[in-house]
Structure 1
């Protein structure tokens, strides 16, 4: 009897229920007490990651990688099921920081593991906060250059973990907004990093920025 392949079945949400704090491995809920500019004491509810390495200032990295094709640069993206949304999302490659690792080292490692491509980190963003009204999660966005002429990048093979099911694909950078709108219409969830990058490109076109 043959075993199912990694792509044979679609992921699906089975149940949704409250999480016992004692079971939480990755996040925790916290109650924040603070005073506003008028001196009024207020309360805020927040979520925090429990996986940030000691002495690290970020949780994770997002990776911007352009693959040079004959028709122009294409942005490397991936499809991945996300249980909180019960949808497949369109994302840039990304991953959590390991102990003692820099953002650049993390980006190169995660790119190799998730996509198979071998690259070099070239530029790192400021610290970006994903949803500051809800949680303290943050990241650096790292630009990684992939030399498509190298032998190791001719037929890249991802090194996925047993619980990772990721499909990589590319989209022409010049048509990014149009392409993600099509993906949205098809029922995919668009990650904010991808959507904001696309909107930024369109804004740059309208304003004639270089």
Structure 2
């Protein structure tokens, strides 16, 4: 749908005012006042995010995952390798970079599977999900504030991790279910 068509849609919310409340290293927060379709106005709190990438990487029919502490959830979390886009960075380049930084594996090729919004009710973050089963082992290069372990798990282990709540983020759930389809059909 074109920008013009969106702005002409009866549910479109026109921005009347916008105030930036916070500017951080990763996100910013703004509060917008919008005009509703019924003529009333409302407030929308919006998190701005530069976008991210994630990689479903298979090595010997096992998925590479990392386990790390996630402060917002106050728990350890098992996830596929992922990270935010740097300014001006192409998603496929970021996916290759993040895979190597977090797992030590270099992708010889990456296939784009999907791009999806994480929380469209309050955030503009888009995650670009890639797949590879064509990797070579290299060296891990973690950021100074990044502490994680990497392992390769089977599909059955991944399903168990979901059941146990060790995997509960959308990008990893999507990757596991895509992997299941790939295992059953040979394609995505």
* Whole-angstrom CA distance in 2 between matches of 1:192 and 1:157: 27
2:110 to 119, 122, 126: 122
2:149 alignment partner, SS class? strand
Number of residue pairs matched? 165
Greater share of strand? 2
Pairwise CA distance, 1:157 = 2.9
Does residue 131 (structure 1) correspond to residue 119 (structure 2)? The answer is yes
Q: Deviations over 1:83-107 (max 9, x none)?
A: 1112111111011222332111111
CA contact (8 A) 1:126 1:140 kept: yes
3-state SS of paired residue (1:104): helix
- For 2:153, which of 137, 151, 171 is the aligned residue? 171
Task: Specify the alignment match of 2:176 in structure 1.
Answer: 198
Find 2:53's aligned residue among 56, 61, 76.
61
TM-score by length of 2: 0.74
Q: Is the 8 A contact 2:101 2:140 kept in 1?
A: yes
Q: Which runs of 5+ in 1 are unaligned?
A: 1-20, 53-58
Question: Pick from 84, 93, 96: which aligns with 1:105?
Answer: 93
d(CA) in 2 for partners of 1:104 and 1:200? 18
Distance 1:24 1:102 in 2: 22
Q: CA RMSD in A?
A: 2.7
**What are the ranges of 5 or more consecutive residues in structure 2 without an aligned counterpart?**
1-20
1:82 to 70, 76, 84: 70
Q: Deviations over 1:55-113 (max 9, x none)?
A: xxxx2101110112xxxx11111101111112111111011222332111111111111
2:34 matched to which residue of 1? 34
Shift of 1:136: 0.9
TM-score by length of 1: 0.67
What residue number does 1:162 align with?
144
**Alignment partners' CA distance in 1, 2:22 and 2:157:** 46
Note if contact 2:109-2:134 (Cα within 8 Å) is conserved in structure 1: no
